[in-house]
Amino acid sequence: MDAEVLKKYSALHPKPAGLTLQYGTAGFRTKAEQLDHVMFRMGLLAVLRSKAVVSTIGVMVTASHNPEEDNGVKLVDPLGEMLHPSWEEYATQLANAEEGELQQIITEICQKAAVNLHEDASVFIGRDTRPSSEKLSRSVIDGISILGGQYHDYGLVTTPQLHYMVCCRNTQGQYGKATLEGYYEKLSKAFTELIKQVNTGSGESQRHLKIDCANGIGALKLLEMKPYFPKEVLIHLYNDGTKEKLNHLCGADFVKVHQKPPRGLDLKPNERCCSFDGDADRIVYYYTDAAGDFHLLDGDKIATLISIFLKELLAKVGQTLKMAVVQTAYANGSSTRYLEETLKVPVHCVKTGVKHLHHKAQEFDVGVYFEANGHGTVLFSKAAENKIRQLAKEEKDDEKREAAKVLENTIDLINQTVGDAISDMLVIEAILVLKGLTVQQWDAVYTDLPNRLRKVQVADRRVIDTTDAERRAVTPSGLQEKIDALVKKHRLSRAFVRPSGTEDVVRIYAEADTQENADALAHEVSLAVYHLAGGKGAPPQP
C-alpha cells in the first residue's frame, strides 16, 4: 500500500472538522454533503474486508427512508448479509480518523483482522436514486481503486438487489445469476410457477395492485421487471419519482408512522395497495373500507400471513421441520398471541435491528422474521431446503410432492439475504391467490391492539439501559417499577422504553385495549421517562 498515494487521494476527500459518525444497523447516514470522505474510506474498507474473507463484498450507497437531502452507505458481507459486528467497529474508526491517522488505522485493521494485502479484492457497488448518490459512489470507487481492488458498478439498484448479487457471486451462481436479468428471471419464474395451478375465477379486481414507490428506486426496477411478470399481474405504480421528492409524504415509513395513505395515490374503498420505502427493502399493505377507515397491514400482519401459508405446507409435506417467527418488542401483542395460541408457532423476541432478527431466524429450519415497519424475509436452513427440493423431485405421494413443489417455488421467490419489497410483495400476492383471500380477509385474521409511539428528548440517552430484548429498563432505578405500575391500570396493556440508536431521545411504545387507553399510557410513561431519565425542554404534553 503506497502511503503517498493514500495521502494524495485522501486529501481529495477531506473529512469535515469535528464530525463523528457511528456505523449502526443502517450503516452510516447523515446529510449528503458530509459523506464524501466516508464513501472514500468505505471503498478502502470494502477492499480490506474482501481480502480478509477472500470473497466479493458489496457497498450500497443509500439512506433508505430518510429525506432526499440525506445519504448513507452500508457494506454487504459475502452471503448477502449485513457487515460483521467486529467490522462495524473498524468502519467507525476509519470514518472518524483524521487525515494523518488513516495509514496507521488501516495497518491496525490488517493486523487485527489478519488481512493479507496480497489477496485479490472484489467489490460490487450499487446506489439509489438520490441526486447525491452518483457522485458519492464515485468516491467509493476512488477508495477501492487506490488499494488495487476490482469492482463492478451496478449503478441504480434496490438495496436487496445488491445483496442478492453479492450472494450469487460468492455461491458461484448457486443462489442465482449475479445480474438484474438473473434476479428478474428467478423471481418471476418462481412466482409464475406458484400461481399457475390456480384457476383465478375470482374476478379481475383480485389481481389489481396499486404500489406507492416512495419516489424511489423501486419504481425504476418494477418498470424493468414488468415484462417478466405473467399477464395476471396488473400493477399500477404511483410516486414513481418523475414529479416529487424521494420519501416526501409517501413510502412505507410514512404510511406506518402516520397510519394514513401516501400523497399521490388515489385510494378507492377496498382496493389493495402497498408502499415500498426509498430503497425498496420494506413493504406495508393497506386499504380503506367502505366507511373510509384506513387499515394498515404491517410487518406483523405480513409475518402472520406467510406463517399460516408455510405451516400448512410443512404439515402437508409431513416433515418434522422446525419453524419459528422472530419479532421485536414493537410487534403488536395481538400478532404474538395469534401466532403462539392459535397457529401454535413459537415466537422469539429479540432486540430492535434487522441483524438481531436475521441472526435468530438462522437457528431454525424455517425462520420467519419481520419488523413491524415491514422489513423482513424468511430463512430456510440448508438442510431444510435440500430436503424440500428432494421431496419435490422424488416424493411418490402426489399431495406431498405438490406441497413440496409449492415450498420449493416459495424458497426461490423469497430473497433470503435481506428484506426485499419486490420479493415480499410477490410472495404476498402469490399467497393471496393460492388461498383465495382478499386483503380484507387477510386483515381479519386478528385485530391489532391500539398502540402509540412517543419519544422524549433527554440530556443523555445512555442513562437508559434495557434487558429482555429491550422490554425491561434496568436503569435509571425506579423507572421500570413505575412503568409496571402504569401498565397495571389498563386492560391488555404493555409498554416499554428504549434509547434511540442515533440521537438523544428515548422511544416509548404503549398498547392497550382502546386507543384512548394506549394514548394515556404512552403519555404517562413519557412523563415517567422525562422525570426519571433527565428529560430536556418542556414536559411531554398529552
> What pLDDT digit, counting tens, does each position of 361-420 carry?
999 999 999 999 999 999 999 999 999 999 999 999 999 999 999 999 999 999 999 999
pLDDT score of 112: 97
Q: What angle do CA 403, 161, 314 make, to 5 degrees?
A: 15
Q: Which CATH number fits domain 3-156: 3.40.50.150, 3.40.50.300, 3.90.920.20, 3.40.120.10?
A: 3.40.120.10
Asked if residues 243 and 216 have their Cβ atoms less than 8 Å apart, the reply is no
Asked if residues 303 and 332 have their Cβ atoms less than 8 Å apart, the reply is no
Q: Which residues does the chain have with pLDDT short of 50?
A: 202-205
Quickly count: other Cβ atoms within 10 Å of residue 194's Cβ: 23
Under CATH, which number does the domain 451-533 receive? 3.30.310.50
Same fold, 182-296 and 451-533: no
Which residues face 59 on adjacent strands? 75, 125
Q: What is the three-class DSSP state of 284?
A: strand
Which of 64, 122, 139, 275 is labelled catalytic? 64
Q: Is 542 annotated as a binding residue?
A: no
Q: Is 130 annotated as a binding residue?
A: no
Question: Domain 299-424+436-444, what architecture?
Answer: 3-Layer(aba) Sandwich (3.40)
pLDDT score of 205: 45
pLDDT score of 231: 82
pLDDT score of 471: 97
Asked if residues 256 and 214 have their Cβ atoms less than 8 Å apart, the reply is no
Domain edges within the chain: 3-156, 182-296, 299-424+436-444, 451-533
Q: Residues of the chain with pLDDT > 70: what percent?
A: 98
Angle of the 421-435 helix axis to the 217-225 helix axis, nearest 10: 50
pLDDT score of 199: 59
> What pLDDT digit, counting tens, does each position of 296-351 carry?
999 999 999 999 999 999 999 987 899 999 999 999 999 999 999 999 999 999 99
Amino acid at 396: K
Q: Is 365 annotated as a binding residue?
A: no
pLDDT score of 504: 86
Q: Is 504 annotated as a binding residue?
A: no
The model carries a pTM of 0.95
Q: Is 281 annotated as a binding residue?
A: yes
Q: Is 507 annotated as a binding residue?
A: yes
Q: Is 372 annotated as a binding residue?
A: yes
Asked if residues 528 and 482 have their Cβ atoms less than 8 Å apart, the reply is yes
Which residues face 127 on adjacent strands? 61, 156
Question: Domain 182-296, what architecture?
Answer: 3-Layer(aba) Sandwich (3.40)
Catalytic status, residue 64: yes
DSSP string, 351-396: -SSHHHHHHHHTTSSEEEEE-TTS-EEEEE-HHHHHHHHHHHHH--
